């Protein structure tokens, strides 16, 4: 798991060729008028999801983890908390869906990441994350999640 701001994205580009491409995309793309939904970058190996939503109370959210993709979550506006825990420390709530590449989990967080506009977090398959959580009160937020195929 990584938490940083886009200005420092160059530090992580060497981690994986697709991570470098994803971070360059986040740093160079103007998302202000981009429609919500899926946007291809490199086929199924690398794509972006633009999302607008209202953050929710932490108790109303659940942990998720992915097997085939790394998530890079970048806040465009608003702010949110993403709770984090190693997947092996959590219990399965909903079995893994191969079609959606997600398993839902429950348990205690090991950390919380506070993201504001321009910050991003990277979650590997072993990183369970509970996104879209409110800091104090629910608020509107917008973010891009870049899905990076593992392997």
pLDDT band at 13 (very low <50, low <70, confident <90, very high): confident
Average pLDDT over residues 121-139: 97
Query: For 81-126, how does the pLDDT look when each residue is reduced to its tens digit (9 = 90+)?
Result: 999 999 999 999 999 999 999 999 999 999 999 999 999 999 999 9
Instruction: Lay out the sheet containing 69-77: strands in order across.
Output: 2-5, 119-123, 69-77, 140-149, 46-54, 37-42
A 10 A CB-CB count for 71 gives 23
**DSSP designation for 109:** -
Given the candidates 2.60.40.10, 2.60.120.370, 3.30.70.870, 1.20.58.1910, the CATH classification of the domain at 2-149 is 2.60.120.370
Can you give the residue ranges of every domain in the chain?
2-149
Distance CA 144, CA 120 (A): 9
pLDDT tens digits, 60-76: 999 999 999 999 999 99
Positive or negative, the CA dihedral 83, 11, 119, 71 is negative
- 39 forms beta bridges with 48
pLDDT band at residue 8 under the 50/70/90 scheme: very high
């Amino acid at each position: 798991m990584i938490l940083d701001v886009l200005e420092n994205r160059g530090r992580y580009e060497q981690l994986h060729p697709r991570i470098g491409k994803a971070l360059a995309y986040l740093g160079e793309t103007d998302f202000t008028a981009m429609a919500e939904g899926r946007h291809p970058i490199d086929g199924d190996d690398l794509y972006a999801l633009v999302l607008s939503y209202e953050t929710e109370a932490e108790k109303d959210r659940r942990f998720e983890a992915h097997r085939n993709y790394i998530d890079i979550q970048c806040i465009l506006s608003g702010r949110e908390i993403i709770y984090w825990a190693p997947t092996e420390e959590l219990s399965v709530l909903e079995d893994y869906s191969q079609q959606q590449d997600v398993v839902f989990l429950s348990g205690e967080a090991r950390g919380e990441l506070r993201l504001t506009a321009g910050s991003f977090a990277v979650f590997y398959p072993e990183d369970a994350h509970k996104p879209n959580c409110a800091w104090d009160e629910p608020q509107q937020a917008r973010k891009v999640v870049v899905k990076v195929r593992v392997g």
